Chains A and B, each alone.
Chain A
């Protein structure tokens, strides 16, 4: 019953936010809401730009790449120099080059994969200046790219697609920062820590235990981690750690925050293209897939754990409790897992590696379908719009109607870019997984043996290729091999889709609008929603099915066998 109310309250809260935060975001990005212009204007002056000056898609993409490149350099430098920088009460030394490369790639691509051990590796300064900064900046870049593709549909014969600097400044100041401050205070009130003093030592006279308890500026990092669909935690245990996610309320808020902006962006899309129904169609496809996956994971995690059963505990009324926190319970852990893997957040309030084969498989396949349900901040919307363009094209071909989407003719260039945007990720993930299982360095990684060990490798490369960041944590990822290929995987997974998306926006913006006629394929009705879901599942399903069948499927079918 508690679970029913958890889901119902989430749906209601997200529904209200969809309408109101969505409406607010439209106002912000159209430049009508300007109450923070006293901070905005000096920033534009320092940058030497103004909201009236728009860029071509090539300049926009160039800005993204150069800005991300410099962010990468700074993040890498801070990690390498950590030992000589201030705010390091535990006196941690420099982070090694392999781990710094991986972590910098991870945070600059909004992946936030954790090969680092949180409280054991990173100083407070690194957490703040290397990680938290990127947790703000990368979702803003994602929103920028989503705005470009939206403008592709709204602009007519336009050589420009907007101004990158203005888009990210507004996303940062008006959307991310205020929500994060409010949520941060709630998190700290519930028990998340937020301090600059070092670890505390305690001694308990009742049991004779002495403990060293790591603290840090955690709570405020935690909320932007969820809101920006980042997922990189302050502590090694991520959102399972009581200082990151202390109570069931913060757990609920975490799920709400990580779904918030991706869901609201469908309203922004609908409103900006002039038909909210178009946004509703996209949102409906997202909700249906999300709901199906949540149901699968919830049922799967309520089954008893076979290994615990084998050890003699036949009666497990609460389901699979391995790797799950008591305060959240099994169903909320399953819901959190699905929300975090389908939004490209990748935070974890339980050990995904210990999920049942079907539950863990639901997490894995949620990422494989491209994280579009609802996907990461910005990246979810632009990726599903790429799918929508493919759906329109395929649907148009099937019924012999003109492939148009929102009045824009879908022609060879658009389909090529959309194809690129949907194929780069599966190709990268599958090739790198193939390499990892062929090399000794790759096979040395998994903790579990048998098909589950293969799942650990596949999960790691899928997660990084999709900029998710969650893990089957048993894999020893902090090795030269995994650090290097993981970094490559994340950079291709981010920029290999982001740049085609911006290009698509530019190409669409340059086109004129054709008036809708009797032959136009409708993109705001149930038929289109069904087609879009079909395209998403076929692209994700067919490309990954062989790989998934070697991992979770074999594991599920191996009755009575232990590895």
Chain B
């Protein structure tokens, strides 16, 4: 019994040193040496390419907010909807976050967790539907549903195409130009077969800004 206790204590300490300190620190060392950009969050001038942002509040003079940019997927119970109950806060018991403070000190990443027969989900989806229709967009299912992380940075090329009428009207860039921008920015399946094709919303909007101010 005493021998077992002593051995256990020694092994617990060995594991603590090897796997709690040496392993993660080795990871930090190797990652910072070989993949510095990725290891620090893939941060570019306008944010992280991996973390979604809220584009719905972008000021668009003469048009509804958010109409002059491509928008990502909604977050946490429809913050895009004007009547969104949880807009701007993160009440206890509701995992998920507000895109304005995405993944930061004021909110956790996470999903809405609403079930497929949830009355609440019906209500929020209706609000999101109205939100898009007010902007002249016939939404696809990604545009009215929240993601698993709540900070999904991507939409599908079809989702982006659905937003073209809105962006074209607010920016004056022609639909054909927007379509070719989407085609240029779209990423196919990785290695030809993995996952599903997507467009990064931040990169798409950076491309759009270049079209507007060449």
Q: Which residues of A contact B (CB under 8 A)?
A: 1-2, 5-6, 9, 43, 46-49, 59, 62-63, 66-67, 69-71, 74, 90, 117-120, 128-130, 132-133, 135-137, 165, 168, 172, 177, 180-181, 184-185, 188-197, 199-200, 202, 204-215, 217, 219-221, 224, 235-237, 240-243, 246-249, 251-252, 304-308, 310-313, 316, 318, 320-330, 332-333, 348-351, 353-357, 447-450, 452, 455, 472-474, 476, 555, 558, 561-563
- For the complex of A and B, the 9 pairs showing the least CB-CB separation, nearest first, are A248-B195, A212-B104, A329-B196, A240-B148, A220-B27, A351-B111, A311-B125, A474-B113, A129-B20
Give the chain A neighbours of B67 by CB distance below 8 A.
none
In angstroms, Cα B37 to Cα A194, docked, is 10
Please list the residues of chain B having a beta carbon within 8 angstroms of any beta carbon in chain A.
1, 3-12, 14-16, 18-21, 23-24, 26-28, 30-32, 34-35, 38-43, 46-48, 50-51, 53-55, 57-59, 69, 73, 93-95, 99-119, 121-123, 125-126, 128-129, 139, 141-142, 144-156, 159, 189-196, 198, 202, 205-206, 209
Kindly list chain A residues whose C-beta atoms are within 8 Å of the C-beta of B125: 307-308, 310-313
Question: CA–CA, A472 to B95, complex, Å?
Answer: 12
Q: A355-B116, A447-B114 are in contact. List 5 more A-B contacts (CB 8 A).
A: A194-B27, A206-B209, A207-B53, A207-B58, A354-B114
Q: Give CA–CA (A555, B66) in the complex, Å.
A: 38
What CA separation (Å) do A561 and B119 show in the bound complex? 9
Determine whether the beta carbon of A324 is less than 8 Å from that of B54: no
Given contacts A117-B108, A185-B30, A452-B118, whether A311 and B39 have CB atoms under 8 Å apart is no
Q: How far is the CB of A171 from chain B (nearest CB, A)?
A: 12
Please give, as numbers and ranges, the residues of chain B lying within 8 Å of A355 by CB-CB distance.
116
Q: Check if A193 sits within 8 Å of B41, measured CB to CB.
A: yes
Tell whether, in the assembled complex, residue A195 and residue B31 are in contact, meaning their CB atoms are under 8 Å apart: yes
Q: Pick from A2, A184, A196, A221: contact of B195, CB below 8 A.
A: A2
CB-contact partner of B109 in A211, A219, A236, A476, under 8 A: A236
Q: How far is the CB of B71 from chain A (nearest CB, A)?
A: 10
The reply to whether B55 and A237 form a contact with Cβ atoms under 8 Å apart is no
Are the CB atoms of B102 and A354 closer together than 8 Å?
no
Contacts of B190 in A (CB 8 A): 247-249
Q: Can you show 13 pairs from A to B with CB atoms below 8 A apart?
A: A66-B5, A67-B11, A74-B12, A130-B20, A185-B30, A194-B27, A217-B28, A242-B149, A307-B122, A308-B121, A327-B196, A332-B194, A332-B195
List B contacts of A71 (CB < 8 A): 12, 15
Closest to B209 in A: A206
Contacts of B147 in A (CB 8 A): 240, 323-326
The 8 Å CB contact of A310, one of B100, B122, B154, is: B122
B174 to chain A, nearest CB (A): 21
B113 and A473 form a contact (CB under 8 A): yes
What chain B residues lie within 8 Å of A70 (beta carbons)?
5, 8-9, 12
Q: Give Cα distance in the complex from A312 to B141, angstroms.
A: 11
Measured CB to CB, the closest approach of chain A to B34, in angstroms, equals 7
B28 CB to nearest A CB, Å? 6
Nearest CB in chain B: distance from A233 CB, A: 9
A213-B149 contact in complex given A137-B15, A185-B34, A562-B122, C-beta closer than 8 Å? no
Min Cβ gap B167→A in Å is 13
Q: Which of A69, A206, A330, A450 contacts B117 (CB 8 A)?
A: A450
Residues in chain A near residue B119, CB distance under 8 A: 307, 449, 562-563
Does B194 contact A320, Cβ atoms closer than 8 Å?
A: no
Q: Which residue of B lies closest to A68 (CB)?
A: B8
- Asked if B154 and A327 sit within 8 Å, CB to CB, the answer is yes
- Asked, given contacts A220-B23, A310-B122, whether A320 binds B116 with beta carbons under 8 Å apart, the answer is yes
Residues of chain B with a CB closer than 8 A to A324's CB = 147-148
* B38 A193 Cβ-Cβ under 8 A: yes
Question: By the criterion CB–CB under 8 Å, are A323 and B148 in contact?
Answer: yes
A130 and B15 alpha carbons, distance in the complex (Å): 11
A211 to B113, CA, bound (A): 24
CB distance from A253 to the nearest CB of B (A): 10
Q: Which among A132, A202, A215 has the greatest number of chain B C-beta atoms within 10 A?
A: A202
Closest-CB distance, A39 to chain B (whole angstroms)? 9
Contacts of B26 in A (CB 8 A): 181, 220
